[in-house]
Amino acid sequence: MRGKHKSIPKELKKNAAWLEKNGAKIIIGLSECARHKYSPGTIKLLREDEAGFKANGYTGNGVMNLFIVVKDPELREKIKEKFNHE
């Protein structure tokens, strides 16, 4: 994992491990203390980019900005199915 923070909260470790096992890379951005309606451990895709996905990871303490780097088109579809929350 790369980015401003190298540690990921325990709530997100399961989903982060799944992403990395399948070949995606996670860039961790800033973490904000904020209330939210999502359960801890949820990853919500915000938008798709040519390099991957901009996403939010929800923890017990707030929201963490993530960027998921994906090159494989098949993996992109798997990620959309698993993490596309409305």
Helix-, strand-, coil-residue percentages of the chain, each rounded to 5 = 25, 35, 40
Residue ranges for the chain with pLDDT beneath 70 = 1-6, 85-86
Task: Identify the domain containing residue 72 by its residue range.
Answer: 2-83
- Confidence (pLDDT) at 65: 93
23: which residues sit within 8 A by CB, 6+ positions away? 70, 71, 72, 75
| Secondary structure (3-state) at 25 | strand
- Confidence (pLDDT) at 86: 53
Total domains present in the chain? 1
- Confidence (pLDDT) at 9: 85
- Confidence (pLDDT) at 6: 63
